[in-house]
Amino acid sequence: MMIRHSLLSENVGSIISMSKRIILPLWFCTVLSACAFNTGLVAAQAASNPEPQTPGQAANSQSEAAATPVVASLHTGQEAASGDEQEPEPTPPADNTQPAEAATAPPPLPPCPEGNASIQGQMASRICQQIRIDPPPTRLRINDFELRSVAMLTQFYTQRNYQAAWLSADGKPLSATSALLTALGEADREGLRTADYHRPQLQKLLKTLQQDGAAPTAEQLADADLVFTNTFLTYGSHLLAGRLPPRQVDRDWAIKPRSRDLAAVLQEALTKDTVAESLRALTPQNKGYVQLREVLRKYQQVEKEGGWPTIGAGANLAQGAQGQRVRDLRVRLQASGDLSEGGGASSGKNAPATFDKSVADAVRRFQKRHGLPETGAVNATTLAALNKPVAERIRQIELNLERWRWLPDGFGSRYILVNIPSFKMNVFENGKRVMEANVVVGRQERQTPTFTANMAYLVLSPKWYVPRSIAVKDKLPQLQRNPYALARQNIRVYSNSGQEINPRSVNWRAVSANSFNYQLRQDSGPRNALGGIKFMFPNPYNVYLHDTPSRELFSRNQRTYSSGCIRISNPVELAQYLLKHDPRWTRDAIKTASVSGKQRVVTLPQQVPVYLLYWTVWMDDEGLAHFRDDVYSRDKLLIRALYQESTGSPRRGGA
């Protein structure tokens, strides 16, 4: 309901009550200013959690705030005078500060075993001396190896009373050592780098231990055992949750990755002699990861065979063209699997030099996979994509395999996924895509963040409460040029007390970003920035999905035009899908309510997880690999974090 304000009030109590409802949303807006935060006259949108939700919470929890909206109905009773329904009021962040408590000391580590004459006893004593240090070290250096998984090392060895894990009682290497080296040799298949885990040095160490005439000391044997354990734990943690914490490249990342007790995993692997198998089991089992890993293998094979040819510059190539450039195009398309090879007589140097229908179809397939207009002809843009070296594509795949390792085991039986670089939204149910839409995402300076949250309700015929950031950056300059500029957009101006004011009464040229003490609200209607529907999944960034009157943007290939929220091409279809179990909300009913000019809030019978992700390579339903441009330069940040660009060599991992 819209609250009507007046300078004259019949009841002082009503003024006090009204003031609370105004001040609270205004205060909250100053804390969270994003693409379209509701402030001022109508109660602000729900913000159920001050912290981002983890995927587990997104899939399973029910937000308390999400339960409060009024359910809009076709059979309404007596409505309020304005006909508007309120969105859930925000609850100010609670002061969760707890009285300071004395830090709980960690339990004392078991004492080192008493030394004895046996090799086994001496190894255990040495292992204990290396890790049972006060204060506990974060890193250990043993010869040429830097051990970084010290906390897990300590947990693992204390549980086995510091006994060696990879060596027998008399100091001989067990079969698990060879299995570990075999597993490390598979790191490249996972988009990791075998060199990061010092495999050649470990092979040399193992060979030394296996020599019949070798007589290493108990200290040397114990140090070798520590190195093998640290290598398993480091490589295992990278397979499980990535080489680096995602917040190192995305400070707002809040999606909780998969987790396992790696010390327990190692102990079980040693007991069952399944070291290699246990490491493979730590990799993501998501279909998207498994398929992308297979594409990596194929591209690595292309690289081993010399890569694909570069197509020379020249005129556009289309059906009917002939010459060496067409022959090179055929070989290039065959290498990436876009053109089937016709055997030795029609591949490689023997490939025909004619641009026929099969080549045109292959070019369309390539263009589809790279987000280009599917013309079947090779223009400058398509040529540039074709000439990307295979090594560059391999690195791009590796980066996105790393992003998969940051994600949970599953997204739930039903979820909405927006992939920012693809400019697409997909709805999945029981493992199948049931809906797709084009989307417009945030522009470079107002990027759409990556996170997950639960969609709790939608708003039909919404009003737009212009967030302060947009008000001062975009709208204030318009007011300074023409005080009535916003009136043409059906945007009203209110004072901080909630009273509507005449924009002509303000000297806008004297107002700065710091002194802007006004609230802006756009009425519902065809020109409203949110269109006819917005879909709310409360989050700290106040980002949501919504309709838009700027429909022409959906036909463009690159769609980075919003202030951070996601505009979708088919909002009515999405609303119909979300409300499909409520017979009252037919397609016609949704369309009517979305253009009624009366704001209605509809809670969803079951919250739906929403994932906003950033993949520049991914697999589609047909098993095709899609590549997209790095629209926010996040691939570049990840490359700098994973690899040393100055030398072009990988960072040395914590083996």
The string of pLDDT tens digits covering residues 255-312 is 988 999 999 999 999 999 999 999 999 999 999 999 999 999 999 999 999 999 999 9
d(CA 79, CA 29): 28
User: What's the rounded mean pLDDT across residues 493-497?
Assistant: 91
- Could you write out the three-class secondary structure of 556-592? CCCCEEECCCEEECCHHHHHHHHCCCCCCCCHHHHHH
Locus of tokens 């947009």: 470
Considering the chain, what percentage of its residues have pLDDT values greater than 90?
68
pLDDT of residue 105: 59
Q: What are phi and psi of 625, to 5 degrees?
A: -85, 130
Locus of tokens 């309709």: 547
pLDDT of residue 346: 60
pLDDT(41) > 50:
no
Q: Measured on CA atoms in the order 45, 49, 51, 56, is the torsion positive or negative? A: negative
User: What's the rounded mean pLDDT across residues 497-509?
Assistant: 91
Which amino acid makes up residue 315?
A
pLDDT(458) > 90:
yes
**Bigger pLDDT: 469 or 322?**
322
For the ranges 141-145, 412-416, 551-555, the lowest mean pLDDT is seen at: 141-145
Closest CA to 451 of 406, 509, 401: 406
pLDDT(495) > 80:
yes
Q: What are phi and psi of 606, to 5 degrees?
A: -145, 130
User: What's the rounded mean pLDDT across residues 319-336?
Assistant: 96
Compute the radius of gyration of the chain from its Cα atoms: 31
Q: Determine which helix (DSSP H) or strand (DSSP E) holds 126, and give its type and residue range.
A: helix 119-131
In this structure, what token pair is assigned to residue 31? 């804390």
d(CA 112, CA 158): 9
In this structure, what token pair is assigned to residue 594? 């979305």
pLDDT digits (tens, 9 = 90+) for 416-443: 999 999 999 999 999 999 999 999 999 9
To the nearest 10 degrees (0 to 180), the angle between helices 175-184 and 199-210 is 160
- Do the strands 560-562 and 432-442 form a parallel or antiparallel pair, or are they unpaired? parallel
Contact 366, 358 (CB under 8 A): no
- Give residue 652's region: left, alpha or beta (phi > 0; psi -120 to 50): beta
pLDDT(489) > 80:
yes
The single-letter DSSP state of residue 645 is: T
DSSP 274-338: -HHHHHHTTS---HHHHHHHHHHHHHHHHHHTT--PPPPP-S-B-TT-BSHHHHHHHHHHHHTTS
pLDDT of residue 144: 82
User: What's the rounded mean pLDDT across residues 77-104?
Assistant: 47
d(CA 571, CA 594): 10
Q: Measured on CA atoms in the order 149, 155, 158, 163, is the torsion positive or negative? A: negative
Q: Within a 10 A sphere around the Cβ of 309, how many other Cβ atoms?
A: 18
> What pTM value is reported for the model?
0.82
User: Sorting pLDDT into bands at 50, 70 and 90, what band is 415?
Assistant: very high
Mean residue pLDDT of the chain comes to 84
User: Sorting pLDDT into bands at 50, 70 and 90, what band is 106?
Assistant: low
Closest CA to 201 of 171, 221, 231, 174: 231
pLDDT(143) > 80:
yes
For the ranges 312-326, 338-352, 499-513, the lowest mean pLDDT is seen at: 338-352
Closest CA to 150 of 234, 225, 66, 70: 234
Vertex 20: Cα angle to 16 and 25 (nearest 5): 155
For the ranges 21-30, 187-196, 609-618, the lowest mean pLDDT is seen at: 21-30
pLDDT(50) > 70:
no
The single-letter DSSP state of residue 196 is: G
Closest CA to 235 of 280, 293, 172, 204: 280
pLDDT of residue 146: 87
Contact 378, 316 (CB under 8 A): yes
pLDDT of residue 112: 85
Q: Within a 10 A sphere around the Cβ of 22, how many other Cβ atoms?
A: 21
Coil, strand, or helix at residue 365?
Answer: helix
Q: Within a 10 A sphere around the Cβ of 280, how many other Cβ atoms?
A: 14
pLDDT of residue 17: 46
pLDDT(108) > 80:
no
In this structure, what token pair is assigned to residue 561? 């035009």
pLDDT digits (tens, 9 = 90+) for 567-590: 999 999 999 999 999 999 999 999
User: What's the rounded mean pLDDT across residues 22-33?
Assistant: 38
Bond prior to 449 in cis (omega within 30° of 0): no
For the ranges 183-192, 194-203, 463-472, the lowest mean pLDDT is seen at: 463-472
**Bigger pLDDT: 341 or 538?**
538
Locus of tokens 């992308």: 292
Q: What are phi and psi of 546, to 5 degrees?
A: -160, 165
**Bigger pLDDT: 110 or 387?**
387
pLDDT(468) > 70:
yes
Q: Determine which helix (DSSP H) or strand (DSSP E) holds 494, and give its type and residue range.
A: strand 491-495
Which residues, 6+ apart, have CB-to-CB distance to 100 below 8 Å?
A: none
